[in-house]
Structure 1
Amino acid sequence: MSEIRFPLPDVGEGLTEAEIVQWRVAPGDRISLDQVFVEIETAKSLVELPSAFEGVVSELLVEEGNTVDVGTPILVIQTDAAGLASDAPAVPAAPASGTAETPSAPAAPAAATPAAPAPVADAVEESGAVLVGHGSSGPAATRRRRHVTPDGAHGRLAAPTPPPAPVSTAPAAAASAAASVAAPSRPAPQLPVIAKPPIRKLAKDLGVDLSRVAPTGPIGDITRDDVIREASQASVFRNIQTPERPEAREERIPVKGVRKAIASAMVQSAFQAPHVSVFVDVDASRTMEYLKRLKASPDYAGVRISPLLIMAKAMIWAVRRNPTVNAQWTDTEIVVKNYVNLGIAAATPRGLIVPNVKEAQAMTMVELATALEQLTLTAREGKTQPAEMQNGTITITNIGVFGMDTGTPILNPGEVAIIALGTIKQKPWVVDGEVRPRFVTTIGASFDHRVVDGDVASRFLADVASIIEEPALLLE
C-alpha cells in the first residue's frame, strides 16, 4: 500500500484558492478512478473534482466551509501500488478476443488467441466528455481502459472466464411480478414521464407531481407551461410561500467565492466605466407570433424557445450595423471585436454569473436556441466552468422573467454594452389611430460612454427594437 496526498488543483486560469463546499466521500470509503469526491467553489463557479487515483480514503484534511490555497493537500488516499502499476500500460490493440489478462497471469501469444468477432471491443471510459452539469474531467492519461462484454456490461480488466451457462429468466420474472403485486405503493403510470432536467427541478420546487401533469410537448414531453399550469402559479419566479420569521435576530453571510467575485466586478465596473442608459418601448406582438410558429416547427422539436432567442438574434444583427458596441476599452486603445461572444446574465443559488455563447454570430437560429438552453441549464445547476465566463463581448440580462418592466443594468467588466429585456405583456397600444391590446415590452441598455457615443447607443437600441417589432427583418 502507498499513501497519496491529493492537492487542490487549479481548476481555472490563475485561481489561487477555493472553498470546500461538500465532501462526497468519507474516511474508509473506496474511491474509484474519475469518481467525483468533493465539490468546491472558486471565485468563478462551483466545480466537482474527479479522482485521478483509486483506493481507500484514509483522511479528509480540510473541513467543509474552509477556504484553502491551490496546491494544499485536501485528501489522503491509500492505494495499492502494485495494482496501479499493472493498470498503467494500455491494452494491446492487436488481439481481438473478449478477455484480457490479469496482472498475475502471463500474456498469451497472439497466435494462440482465437480471433473473435467485433461485439467485444475496447471502450475507454470517457468521463471527461462531460454532460451538462456533470462536473469536470480528469486527465486523459489517468483513465482506465475498460472492456465491453457481449451483453453490453462494462467491467474492469479481468481474467478469462468461461461463458456462463444459460439461466432461465422465469424465476426472476416471477419474483419481480410477485414484488410488484405485493407493493402497496401507488401504481406506476402507463407511460414514462418525459421531462427535461430543468422541468423536473421546476416541478420539485413547485411541489408538482409530474405523473399527474398532462404533457403538451411535441414529443409527448412535459413543458414548463404544463408544470406552471398544474401548480396554478402566475410566475415561476414569484415566492411560492411566505416562510416563518427566523428566531435569530441577525444572519451573517460570509463574503467569499462567487459572491465576493461579483461584488468586486460590480464595483470595478460601476466606478471605472461611465455608464449611460437609454430605453425604448416596443410592440413585440409579431415576435410572439413568430415564436409560436417556431415552437410548432419540427426543426425546433425539444428545443427551448423564448423571447430571449429573438433578442439574442436581434443583438447579433444590430452589432453588425453598430460594431463599436461590441468592443473593449483599454488605456491605450479601443479593441473592436468582429465576433460575438454573447453573455447571458444568469441568476444562480450562489449569485449572478455571466457565461457566454462563443462565436454566436456564426450560429443558426436552432444552434443558438440549443446553446442558450444548455448555457442556462448549466448555470442554474451551478456547473458553469471558468472558461465559459471568459472573453465575453456583449451581454443580455433578461429581467422580464422576474416580471420586471426594465432596469439600468451595470456593464459586465471588459465590455461596453449590455441590454436588459423587460417582461412582455399585453398593454393598450395605438395602432393606425386605434387603441388595441398588443404585447409590449421595454428594452433598456447601458453603455460605456468612453467608447459608445449617444448617437451610436441610440441607433443600436433602435436596431434591436426594430427586430423585436418585425422579426422578418432577420431574413434580409
Structure 2
Amino acid sequence: MTIREFKMPDVGEGLTEAEILKWYVQPGDTVTDGQVVCEVETAKAAVELPIPFDGVVHALLFEEGTTVDVGQVIISVQTGDAGAGAPVQTAAAPVAEAAAAAAPAEEPVAEARQPVLVGYGVSTASTKRRPRKATAATAAQNGTAAPAAPVLPAVPAQPTGERPLAKPPVRKLAKDLGIDLASVVPTGDGGVVTREDVHAAAAAAIAPQAVPAVAAPVAAQAQAQAPVAEAAVTETSARETRIPVKGVRKVTAQAMVGSAFTAPHVTEFITLDVTRTMKLVQELKDDPDLAGLRINPLLLIAKAVLVAIRRNPDVNASWDEAAQEIVLKHYVNLGIAAATPRGLIVPNIKDAHAKTLGELSESLSSLVATARDGKTSPADMQNGTITITNVGVFGVDTGTPILNPGESAILAVGAIKLQPWVHKGKVKPRQVTTLALSFDHRLIDGELGSKFLADIAAVLEHPRRLITWS
C-alpha cells in the first residue's frame, strides 16, 4: 500500500493559485479515477477537480476557504499500487517540503510526474513557491503550528544599480503610473516585480499614511505587519465591514486598472428608436420554427453587432505591445458581460460570426445559465474580441464602459423606454434606447468608431438590414 498525492493543477491558462471552495470527500472515503473530489475557485471561475487514480482518502491537506498555490499537494490517497505515485509522506512531509524549497535555485528539485487532467494542462513551474500572506499571523491567533506549506524568506528589493526584473507589460504599467521600478519591492519568484507590486507602490505614493491598511503588503512587510493586515481584513464593527478582495473580484479589479491605464479609451453615444426591433422580437417569439429558443432584445443586438463588424472588419482587432503590431481578427469571439455572485465575468461566444440566429440564441442561453451557476470555465473567458454589456437591465440609460483587456471595443446597451420621438413628422411614443461604444483609440480612430456605432444603430432601427446587409 502506498500514499499517492494529488497536487493543485493549473486549471487554465497559467493561473498560479486557487481557493478550495468545497470538499466532496472526507478521510476514509473511497475514490475512483475521474471522481470529483473538490471545487476550487480560480481568479476566473469555479472549477470541479477530478482525481486521476483510485484509492481511499488518507488526508485533506487544506481546509475549505484556503488559497493554494498551483503545484501544492491538496489531498493524499492510499492506493494499492505498490510502485506508483509518490512515496509515503507522514509527519516528515513539512520538513521535506521546507528543505526542497530552501534548495539553491540552480539545483532544481526533482518531482514525480503529475498526472495530466483533461483540459488542465501541465504546470512547468518549479517547486519553489512564494510566501503565503499572513500565514504566521493566522497561526499565532489560532494557537496552532503553521500549515504544511513553507513560508519562504522575503525577497529583498533590487540592489542599487541593478536593473529591476519585470516583464514588459509590468514595465509599461509602472511607466504609465509614474512609478520607478527600482523603488518597488518585488514579491515574485526570483525577485521579479509583479503588477500587484506596482499597484501597491502606486497606492503608497497616493496615500502614504494609509499604506499599512489598504496597500497589498509586500513580502518584506508581511511578517512585521501581519497582525495589522489580518485585523484589517477580518474586523467588523457597527460602522464598517472589510471584505477581502480575491478570486474573480480581485482579477477583475486588476484587469480594469490595467486596461484603463494601458488602452486610450474613447466613448461615443447614440440614441435611437428601436420600436421595429422590439416588434421583431415579439414576432420571433411567436414563430413556431423558433419554439424553445430564448428570444430577447439582446439576441438581436448581438446580431446587429456581428453585422456591423462584417461591414467594418478593422474594428475587430487587438494591439500587440511586444511586437508593436495591430492584429486583425478574422473571427469574432463575442463577449457578454455577466454579473454573478462571485463578481463580473465576461465569457464569450466562440466564432459567433459563423452562427445562425438560432445557434446564437442557444449559445447566449448556455452562457448565461453557466455563468449564473458559477460554472464558467477559464477557457470560456479567453480570447474575446468585442464585448456587449447590458446595463439596461438595471434601468440605467447608458455608461462609459472600460474595455475588457485585449479587446478593441465594448458596447453598453441602455434601458429601452417608451419616450416621445419624432416619427414620420409627428411626435409619437416610441421605444428608445441609448448605446455607448468605448474603443481603443490605438486601433480604432474616430471615423471608424463612429461608422461602426452608426451601423449598429441602423440595424436596430431597421432590423430588415439583418438580411439585406448580411
TM class by smaller structure: 0.5 to 0.7
Query: What per-residue deviation string (whole Å, max 9, x for no partner) do you get for residues 201-238 of structure 1?
Result: xxxxxxxxxxxxxxxxxxxxxxxxxxxxxxxxxxxxxx
TM-superposed CA distance for 1:17, in Å, is 1.2
Q: Structure 1 vs Structure 2: percent identity of aligned residues?
A: 61
Gaps spanning 5+ residues in structure 1: where? 85-136, 141-245
| SS of residue paired to 1:81 | coil
Indicate which of 411, 422, 435 corresponds to 1:443: 435
Indicate which of 411, 415, 420 corresponds to 1:419: 411
| SS of residue paired to 1:12 | coil
State the 4+ residue runs in structure 1 displaced beyond 3 angstroms.
137-140, 246-249
Distance 2:320 2:73 in 1: 39
Indicate which of 346, 349, 357 corresponds to 1:354: 346
TM-score by length of 1: 0.64
| SS of residue paired to 2:20 | strand
Matched, 1:29 2:9: no
TM-score by length of 2: 0.65
Q: Structure 1 or 2: larger helix share?
A: 2
Letter in 2 for 1:423: A
Query: In the alignment, which residue of structure 2 is the partner of 1:270?
Result: 260
**Equivalent runs, 1:6-25 vs 2, <5 Å:** 6-25=6-25
Indicate which of 300, 313, 321 corresponds to 2:290: 300
| SS of residue paired to 2:464 | helix
**Equivalent runs, 1:257-336 vs 2, <5 Å:** 257-331=247-321, 332-336=324-328
TM-superposed CA distance for 1:81, in Å, is 3.4
Query: What per-residue deviation string (whole Å, max 9, x for no partner) do you get for residues 342-363 of structure 1?
Result: 1111111111111111111111
Distance 1:342 1:55 in 2: 43
Letter in 2 for 1:313: K
Query: What per-residue deviation string (whole Å, max 9, x for no partner) do you get for residues 355-414 of structure 1?
Result: 111111111000011011111111111111111111111110011111111110000111
Query: What per-residue deviation string (whole Å, max 9, x for no partner) do you get for residues 5-50 of structure 1?
Result: 1111111021111111111222222223322211111111111111
Letter in 2 for 1:468: L
TM-superposed CA distance for 1:456, in Å, is 1.2
**Equivalent runs, 1:155-194 vs 2, <5 Å:** none
Distance 1:17 1:138 in 2: 17
TM-superposed CA distance for 1:310, in Å, is 0.6
TM-superposed CA distance for 1:255, in Å, is 1.7
| SS of residue paired to 1:374 | helix
Larger Rg: 1
| SS of residue paired to 1:392 | coil
Conserved? CA contact 1:46–1:382, under 8 Å? yes
Letter in 2 for 1:315: V
Query: In the alignment, which residue of structure 1 is the partner of 2:335?
Result: 343
Query: In the alignment, which residue of structure 2 is the partner of 1:47?
Result: 47
| SS of residue paired to 1:412 | coil
TM-superposed CA distance for 1:286, in Å, is 0.8
**Equivalent runs, 1:6-405 vs 2, <5 Å:** 6-81=6-81, 139=118, 248-331=238-321, 332-405=324-397
Letter in 2 for 1:345: A
Distance 1:247 1:342 in 2: 43
Letter in 2 for 1:75: I
Query: In the alignment, which residue of structure 1 is the partner of 2:231?
Result: none
Letter in 2 for 1:253: I
| SS of residue paired to 2:266 | strand
**Matched residues, number:** 320
TM-superposed CA distance for 1:248, in Å, is 4.2
TM-superposed CA distance for 1:277, in Å, is 0.7
| SS of residue paired to 1:287 | helix
Letter in 2 for 1:35: Q
Conserved? CA contact 1:327–1:415, under 8 Å? yes
Gaps spanning 5+ residues in structure 2: where? 85-115, 120-235
